[in-house]
Structure 1
Amino acid sequence: MTATSHSRRTVLAATAASAGALALAACGSDDDSSSGSPSPSQAADGGAGSEAGGDEASAGSGSGSAGGTAIADVADVPVGEAVPVTADGQEAMLFRADETTVACFSAICTHAGCSVQPEGVELRCPCHQSVFDAATGEVLGGPAPEPLPAIGVRIEGDQIVTE
């Protein structure tokens, strides 16, 4: 019987390690924000959680970059609201603070992995009622332990594109 419980323990530990690795991989993004190295836009505006919300980087000021993938038309994102989009192959929430400022975050709650829903300037998780600031991704309430991971975006002409 001890061999069986040892085997179960081993299987459970391996399963937990695999699930943890998958969760970390799913939370990562192409802008390396999970590695602690800020993307160029985060360095310019003080990070994804700053009050600036990406003003400088998201103004589409002709940075000369090769352009990212278009994820929405500017006109489809009302000022002061968040809309669901797919960015870098993942569920995301795109928020437009004003005419020139956009921010994008993973739509996956950092508590239990449920998809958050937009409610004006907030993103709410229907599973355990975590609430996030749609402009910064910061936790406003609930059991979520971390802010939503940022996804680099900017306005380019009449499109919102990933960085």
Structure 2
Amino acid sequence: MSTQRHQPFDTAPASVHPTRRRVMGAAGLASVAAVGLSACGGSDNASSDPTTPQAPTSPVDVAATSDIPVGQGVKVEKDGLQAVVGQPTEGTFTAFSPVCPHEGCLVNPANQSYVCPCHSSTFDMATGDVQGGPAASGLAEYPVTVQGERIIVG
């Protein structure tokens, strides 16, 4: 007498067993999600380490002095330079790396200061020093000169 083993009859609905198409589709979505999440962790900075700002390698003409009113600043991205440039007091221009030292987000000019949109750290427009928030250090300063009516950074 032979004993035969019988596989139990599968009574599960077909939707419980994934098809090859569903498995491949899920793998593709997982890949896209992983790439998307890694992009969320980065910043707009070209540096490989966003908390280590890249100083200008050569002088860059960033704006006319009349382009930046007293007490205001602008974001600059030109010729490989990323900076925030401000005029904290009449005739005094400053430039800093826009990279927040807390987690590498890019700061924005706002009312005599620069503000990080990620965790609300604020930095003094004149000195780059931390005014508040979780950042423990200030913004990296860039050299600024005024030649005629032009602001030169670097």
Under a length normalisation based on structure 1, what TM-score does the superposition of the two structures give? 0.59
Return the structure number with greater helix share.
1
Task: State which structure, 1 or 2, has the greater radius of gyration over its C-alpha atoms.
Answer: 2
For residues 107 and 160 of structure 1, the distance between their equivalents in structure 2, rounded to whole angstroms, comes to: 17
**Contact 1:80–1:121 at 8 Å: present in 2 too?**
yes
Q: Counterparts of 1:25-104 in structure 2 under 5 Å?
A: 26-30=52-56, 68-86=59-77, 89-104=80-95
CA RMSD of aligned residues (A): 2.4
Q: Which runs of 5+ in 2 are unaligned?
A: 1-46
For residues 153 and 87 of structure 1, the distance between their equivalents in structure 2, rounded to whole angstroms, comes to: 15
Q: 1:127 aligns with which of 118, 125, 132?
A: 118
Give the match's secondary structure for 1:75: helix
The superposition leaves residues 14-38 of structure 1 with CA deviations (integer Å, 9 ceiling, x where unpaired) of: xxxxxxx93279413147xxxxxxx
Q: Which runs of 5+ in 1 are unaligned?
A: 1-20, 32-66
TM-superposed deviation, 1:134: 1.1
For residues 68 and 103 of structure 1, the distance between their equivalents in structure 2, rounded to whole angstroms, comes to: 14
**Contact 2:51–2:100 at 8 Å: present in 1 too?**
no
For residues 150 and 88 of structure 1, the distance between their equivalents in structure 2, rounded to whole angstroms, comes to: 18
2:109 maps to 118
Matched length: 108
Under a length normalisation based on structure 2, what TM-score does the superposition of the two structures give? 0.62
Query: Once the two structures are aligned, what percentage of the paired residues are identical?
Result: 36
**Contact 1:100–1:155 at 8 Å: present in 2 too?**
no
TM-superposed deviation, 1:122: 1.1
2:137 maps to 146
For residues 114 and 22 of structure 1, the distance between their equivalents in structure 2, rounded to whole angstroms, comes to: 13
Q: Counterparts of 1:15-30 in structure 2 under 5 Å?
A: 22-23=48-49, 26-30=52-56
